[in-house]
């Protein structure tokens, strides 16, 4: 699913390390899951003001991953993410992991819940928290 035009897309490159490889010789599913979490955190930190990063914590409530093509050691992947529409304290996040030729290796849909860092309680994703995710990337 491509990102809607009104969403900020965030991408990063990841080099597949020997530790990411399983006994079948390709990337283990746990590595994909780690990359999904890593890009979500990096995206949040890249768009949120420091005071929001300090005041809030995101936690996963659901992961859904489709593995489409194997990935091998030494390959460089482009991982791209964007968010859906906030629903109360939750945001769906989309992640696409592509190989060096742009071929999709995996797609993920995860649900994240927003917590108050001080209390650990769920808090609504307010408009000011969602706004940086809703604007397309500049440039």
Helices 127-134 and 29-47 pack at an angle, to 10 degrees, of: 110
pLDDT at 5 over 80: no
Does residue 9 lie in a domain region? no
Does residue 13 lie in a domain region? no
Structural domain including 63 reads 18-133
Give percent of the chain above pLDDT 70: 94
Over residues 125-132, the mean pLDDT reads 93
pLDDT tens digits for 89-101?
Answer: 999 999 999 999 9
Number of structural domains found in the chain: 1
- Looking at residue 112, which CATH number applies to its domain? 3.10.129.10
Does residue 109 lie in a domain region? yes
Does residue 138 lie in a domain region? no
Does residue 97 lie in a domain region? yes
Q: Residue 136: its pLDDT value, please?
A: 60
At residue 2 the predicted structure's pLDDT band, cuts being 50, 70 and 90, is low
């Amino acid at each position: 699913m491509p990102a809607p035009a009104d969403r900020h897309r965030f991408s990063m490159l990841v080099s597949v390390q020997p530790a990411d490889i399983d006994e079948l010789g390709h990337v283990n599913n746990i590595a994909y899951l780690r990359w999904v979490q890593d890009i979500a955190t990096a995206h949040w930190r890249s768009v949120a003001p420091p005071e929001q990063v300090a005041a809030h914590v995101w936690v996963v409530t659901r992961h859904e991953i489709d593995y489409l093509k194997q990935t091998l050691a030494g390959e460089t992947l482009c991982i791209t993410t964007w968010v859906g529409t906030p629903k109360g304290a939750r945001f769906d996040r989309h992640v696409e992991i592509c190989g060096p030729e742009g071929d999709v290796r995996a797609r993920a849909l995860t649900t994240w819940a927003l917590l108050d860092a001080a209390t650990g309680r769920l808090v609504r994703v307010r408009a000011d928290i969602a706004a940086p995710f809703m604007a397309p990337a500049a440039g």
